[in-house]
């Protein structure tokens, strides 16, 4: 609200709460829904798969039932690159094989995509876009909004930032014998501001075009290894990052990066911020908010 100078209506609750969803839809004239609500840690999903399936899939079903009940038929869905089958040739395109995920988180996203596809087939009045995120990072350039995980972060870059800040003593790198240039996993990192713009472009597209169900990758099209990230963060922060190698984490793939051409062409969207700018914004957030929010 401070940044936009606009008041935001906020409900705090659980997407599995049908009564709350119905109350929200009943109380507002809603034209379209952006569905972000989900648990999202690959590693954690291996330990508590039922929690992930309950939250992610049941929550999505409840939301869709409310949308249908109140005749809201436009949806932008927050999907994930984890839906792609491990071993696909890089970069991943939207037509690549999906559905053999290496972890329950990816499986939950694939199931949700399947549900959305089935609904759009059965009811052509639905217009649905699934946006397959690669690895969002960065922070708002103001330093006022950033990622603030509790405890040891599940994502690499917040973990690196906390080690640089001396909040955590050492970075654990999961695996150094992947078939990559330095043995560490490779990912496509995308600035959260570019990701946000991708949603605006998707919303424009869904209102300006008659569509049923479409899928788009949101990524930069370039992969960086874990060590690439560590060394560049050292440059940005002027801090030494202590790290140790550990066993691979169950559910992780060796490499993953996007072909963003379809989003470039149809959504008129392109990622503009490089990894160094992402890390600078993360470090700005971290130094401005050493204890989080």
**Cβ distance 59 to 18 under 8 Å?**
no
The dihedral formed by the CA atoms of 99, 85, 202 and 284, expressed in degrees to the nearest 10: 130
Q: Which of 84, 105, 189, 213 is catalytic?
A: 105
Q: Reply yes or no on whether 70 is catalytic.
A: no
Pairing of strands 224-225, 135-137: unpaired
Please give the Cα distance from 242 to 223 (Å, whole number). 23
**Adjacent-strand bridge partners of 136:** 190
Please give the Cα distance from 48 to 52 (Å, whole number). 7
**Adjacent-strand bridge partners of 243:** 171
| Coil, strand or helix at 145 | coil
Q: 């204890």: which residue's tokens?
A: 291
Query: Could you tell me the end-to-end alpha-carbon distance of the chain, in angstroms, rounded to an integer?
Result: 15
Token readout for 107 is 């499986």
Q: What are phi and psi of 85, to 5 degrees?
A: -70, 130
Would you please indicate which residues are annotated as catalytic (active-site) residues?
105
């Amino acid at each position: 609200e401070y940044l936009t100078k606009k008041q935001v209506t906020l409900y705090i609750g659980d997407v599995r709460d049908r009564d709350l969803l119905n109350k929200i839809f009943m109380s507002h004239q809603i034209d379209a829904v952006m569905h972000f609500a989900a648990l999202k840690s690959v590693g954690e999903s291996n330990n508590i798969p039922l929690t992930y399936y309950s939250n992610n899939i049941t929550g999505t079903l409840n939301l869709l039932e409310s949308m249908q009940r109140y005749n809201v038929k436009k949806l932008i869905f927050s999907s994930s690159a984890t839906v792609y089958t491990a071993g696909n040739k890089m970069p991943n395109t939207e037509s690549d094989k999906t559905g053999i995920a290496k972890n329950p988180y990816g499986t939950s996203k694939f199931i949700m995509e399947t549900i959305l596809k089935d609904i759009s087939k059965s009811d052509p009045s639905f217009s649905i876009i699934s946006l397959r995120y690669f690895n969002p990072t960065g922070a708002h350039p103001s330093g006022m909004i950033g990622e603030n995980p509790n405890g040891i972060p599940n994502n690499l870059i917040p973990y690196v930032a906390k080690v640089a800040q001396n909040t955590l003593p050492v970075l654990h790198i999961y695996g150094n014998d992947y078939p990559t240039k330095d043995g560490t996993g490779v990912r496509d990192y995308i600035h959260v501001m570019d990701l946000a713009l991708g949603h605006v472009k998707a919303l424009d597209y869904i209102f300006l075009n008659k569509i049923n169900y479409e899928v788009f990758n949101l990524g930069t099209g370039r992969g960086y290894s874990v060590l690439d990230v560590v060394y560049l963060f050292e440059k940005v922060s002027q801090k030494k990052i202590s790290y140790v190698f550990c066993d691979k984490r169950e559910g992780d793939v060796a490499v993953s990066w996007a072909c963003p051409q379809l989003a470039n062409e149809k959504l008129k969207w392109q990622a503009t911020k490089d990894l160094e700018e992402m890390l600078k914004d993360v470090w700005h957030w971290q130094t401005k908010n050493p204890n989080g929010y």
